Chain A
Amino acid sequence: MTEKRAAERFIYQTLSNDPQLSAIVGTKIARGVLLEGQGTVPYVVFQFLAGVQRNALPATITIMTPILYLVRGTVQGNSAQQAFDIEDRVDAVLIGNNGTVTLSGVTWQVGPWVKETHIEYDEVTPEGTHFIHAGAQYRAWVYRLN
């Protein structure tokens, strides 16, 4: 599903280009899960949650609507403040933002993004390490332009 790739490219570039977010998480922005060797907390992950692809004629017109992504920050410790700071920056750069992404000669319109459900929860690993996750689900339209 190229629509997902376009959306993920847009999210990654948008988050990576924000110096205030970089000041918090550095380059630790990843799809799905932070892989071994990519560092540790604090970090940001984003992941596709739902979206329905709809095809139309001519075949060059494909619409995935509406696409829903999770973007969350993860921090370690008892204070959620840094996780909320991450969410604030994601809100600042993503909400209302839109643009185009070109993949293999095909240009996709991505966005504008809207924020839907805020998420916030704790996780304590079997080793007793306490993590806090905070972020939101964001929705956007993605459609092919050429």
Chain B
Amino acid sequence: MAEEIRITLDLSGFGEFQAAAEAAVQLAVEAAAEAVVNDAKDRAPVRTGYLRDHISYAMEDPRTALVESEADYSAIVDEGGVNRPANPFFTGAVEAERARFEERVAEALAEAEKG
């Protein structure tokens, strides 16, 4: 004897949720990028202020942000140089946000679900 199980998935409204979720994730990604920029500026050593004042982000697509430290000596400061230990102003900011990011996205999706 064969038994049949029938499952019906009601997807009405899914399109609206998907759109809301994608918008929420984009906001979360942008907020994360902004947080990295601000934190990196706070951590950046200041002599002339050029390093601190040239950290920025740009959205590459709705799920991707590029955070950049434009000073050409950024890596030498962040990772260290000859006779100079690393001062991870950028890596530290990224790591701090890494710890928060998952929660940030989860909160955004929860808000989207509420509608």
Helix, strand, loop or mixed for chain A's interface? strand
**CA distance in complex: A99, B18 (Å):** 46
Question: B86 — which chain A residues lie within 8 A by C-beta?
Answer: 32, 47, 49, 70
Nearest B residue (CB) for A120: B75
- CB of A50 within 8 A of chain B? yes
Question: A121 — which chain B residues lie within 8 A by C-beta?
Answer: 75-76, 79
Determine if A49 and B80 form an interchain contact, defined as CB atoms under 8 angstroms apart: no
Which residues does A use to contact B, with CB under 8 Å? 32-34, 41, 45, 47, 49-50, 52, 68, 70, 72, 74, 119, 121, 123, 125, 129, 131, 133, 135, 137
Tell me the count of chain B residues lying within 8 A, CB to CB, of chain A: 16
Q: List 28 contacting pairs A-B, 8 Å CB cutoff, sorted by A.
A: A33-B80, A33-B85, A34-B83, A45-B85, A47-B80, A47-B86, A49-B86, A49-B92, A50-B91, A50-B96, A52-B99, A68-B95, A70-B79, A70-B86, A70-B88, A72-B79, A72-B80, A121-B75, A121-B76, A121-B79, A123-B76, A123-B82, A129-B82, A131-B82, A133-B76, A133-B80, A133-B81, A137-B91
Question: A50 — which chain B residues lie within 8 A by C-beta?
Answer: 88, 91-92, 95-96
